[in-house]
Every structure is written in C-alpha cells, then in structure tokens.
Chain A
C-alpha cells in the first residue's frame, strides 16, 4: 500500500481508472433510471411514485458509504500516516454530502404523496439530517485545517478525528428503524433477503452499482485536484524562496 505514498504513481493509476469508472457508471445509472422510469410497472399501493426508489436508495447508500470512506481513510491517516489517506477522506466529503442531500430531497418528495407529510422528526429522518450537517461541518473543518497547514500551522489531525467520531452516526442510521418506532419503514433488503419484488430489485441494483462507480470516479477526480493544489502550492513557495 505504501507504494502509493508516491503521488506520481497514484496519479498515473488514477488518470486511467477515473474514466474507467465514470463512463460505465453514467451508462448504468442513467440506463437503470430510464428502466425504472419507463419500463417498470407501478407499485401495488404507491403507484407511480415508487419510481423515486431508484434514485432515493442509491443516494442513501452513497451518503452512508461516503462517510464510511472518510472514517476508514481517517484511521489509515491517523495510524499509518499514509499521505494519500488524508486526501481520500477530504475528496469523499463533497460527493458524500451531495448524495445525502439528494437522498433527503427525494425522500421528502416521496413522503408527501405516500405518508401525507413532507417531513417528520422520526429516528431515521433525523439521523440522516444529522449526517448532512456532519458533512457540512467536516467540509468546513477540512478547509480551515488546510488553510492553517498552508500558513505553517499544525497538522490536520483534527479533521481525521472528526471524521472518525462522526462515524458513530452510521450504525445509528442503519439501526434507527429497528430500535425506535419510526414512520420510515424497516429495511427492505437484509442479509440475503429482499422484500422488493425482482421487477424493482434489478433496476435498483444496477442503479446502485452505477451511482457507486460515479461516486468512485468523482472521488478520484477530486483526489487528483487536491494533489494538484498541493503541488502548485509547494511550487509557489519554492519560487517565493528563490
């Protein structure tokens, strides 16, 4: 793993891996969305509103996967001091926050016709809103820590610790519908079992894989951008010294 501590080697890999993830990701995601929008039959109770499923569920999954990426990268950053881990954690924050916002927005739009309300303060909805606020806090903190580091201040370890502490919310989101009575229904897909009919499940799985590839591609793109930023900064400083 420390072979990639050399950013040049990582950048070479990222350069061809990024389109390799983005292109099939876009094809799969939009194909599955078209499938879900035009070809899937309406649900027995919800009718046509069930089609929001194909964007709401992948967005929820990536909102949580995004913070898991931040948490795992933070562990690697704190323990092994891997230089790319910090970059990866910061790169995952913005797409993670975007998917979390998409999940909350589509969920709210879906709730109005089905449940009869835009928003309720039940366990699932509240813990997911907390996730969005955690993302916003993380992005602000990472930005401030970077400015501090550029000004010659201390390391950005605070950001990694925040990423790790925030991870406690992920199992809470996952278990919220089991621990507490909530308006949100319990999980449809559990270990090896699904109460989603196959006609809905296949486009949903393809959409989830597609959006995940897009997420991965965006994280790689942002990592390249952050590395380029650091290089430019270092070059400027050398020039200023000379």
Chain B
C-alpha cells in the first residue's frame, strides 16, 4: 500500500477535529438550552412557578385591552400572555416607547402571590420593519402605493 499524501492526512485530521469541535459546541449549546434563555414565557411560569420573591424575567405579549392605569397615575396593571397561559403584571414607573398593547415585553421582577410585580420593563419588538404610512393599509393598498411611487 502506498503512503498517504501528507496533504490528505492533514485534511482527514482536520475534518475529524472539526467534527469533534462542532459536536462539543452543539452539546454545550444543548446543555445551555434552558439556562441561557433570557426570560420565562407565561406558560413556563404557570407550569413551574419560581419561588415567591426570587428575581426572574417574564417575556410575552401584552394582551390587547389589558393595560389599566391605577388612580395614582404611575402604576399600571396588564396581562402578559403567550397564547397558552396568561400572567397578570403590575408595574410602577415610566414605560419604554415601544411598550404598547399587542406587542412584546420583557418584565424584570418577581412573583407575589399570583401577580408578577415588575421593577423594570423592556420592550421587545418583532422582526418586522414597515414604514409608518403603510401600517394601516391593506395589502392591496400597499401594493398600489408601491406601484405608484416606482
């Protein structure tokens, strides 16, 4: 049997090393799967509630029509849902600009009874980028406007 070319030997060695590396990376990422998440979604929070008072983050959609301002003017109550479960949230303070009903939110705080009391609200926006003028138009109208401006 003729000797393997050193070039091919290096290639085989490198491929084996790469497979091991990718395997290790995937295993690490898989192990981090639950720990590396930035927040709990409502269904996780309801299924496995964290201890009362422990600092956690809750992320989900602000349900439409759920924001209520209390008489003091700075405390709001709203519901965060993910389609499977809903959690009532209370927050006192100034909300970010993108905090609106039907949009994503991440609340930092803790469970007190059945209510999530938030110290801080972060707005999470979706992956869509649409100009302001077009947001209220139907798909047909948008097509028409785009055709006119071309």
Contacts and interface: CB of A to CB of B under 8 A. Distances in A.
Given A45-B98, A179-B33, A181-B39, A186 B18 contact: no
B43 to A, nearest CB: 12
Contacts of B17: 164
A84 interface: no
Contact of A185 (B11, B40, B95, B125): B125
B72 interface: no
Interface stretch (B61-69, B109-117, B130-138): B130-138
B10 A78 contact: yes
A44 interface: yes
Contact of A43 (B10, B18, B131): B131
Q: How large is the interface on A (under 10, 10 to 19, 20 to 34, 35 or more residues)?
A: 35 or more
A185 B96 contact: no
Contacts of A115: 96, 98, 122-125
B36 interface: yes
Nearest to B40: A181
User: Most chain-A CB neighbours within 10 Å: which of B24, B59, B131?
Assistant: B131
Interface in A160-216: 164-165, 168, 171-172, 175, 179-183, 185-188, 195-200
A165 B29 CA distance: 15
Nearest to A167: B21
A199 B98 contact: no
Contacts, number: 121
A180 B38 contact: yes
A165 B133 CA distance: 47
A172 B129 contact: no
From DSSP, what is the main secondary structure of chain B's interface residues? mixed
B22 interface: yes
Nearest to A186: B127
B127 A187 contact: yes
User: Most chain-B CB neighbours within 10 Å: which of A43, A79, A120, A200?
Assistant: A79
A225 interface: no
Given A80-B7, A172-B29, A181-B37, A46 B131 contact: no
B97 A44 contact: no
Given A181-B41, A197-B129, A116 B123 contact: yes
Given A44-B131, A114-B96, A183-B59, 16 more contacts: A40-B131, A41-B133, A44-B132, A44-B135, A45-B98, A115-B96, A115-B98, A117-B122, A120-B122, A122-B38, A172-B25, A180-B32, A185-B125, A188-B129, A198-B146, A200-B131
Interface of A: 40-47, 50, 53, 75, 78-81, 113-117, 120-123, 164-165, 168, 171-172, 175, 179-183, 185-188, 195-200
Interface of B: 7, 10-11, 14, 17-18, 21-22, 24-25, 29, 32-33, 36-41, 59, 95-100, 103, 106, 120-135, 146
22 contacts: A42-B131, A44-B134, A46-B98, A53-B129, A78-B10, A79-B14, A80-B7, A113-B97, A114-B97, A114-B123, A115-B96, A115-B123, A123-B36, A172-B29, A183-B39, A183-B106, A185-B127, A186-B127, A188-B128, A195-B129, A196-B128, A197-B128
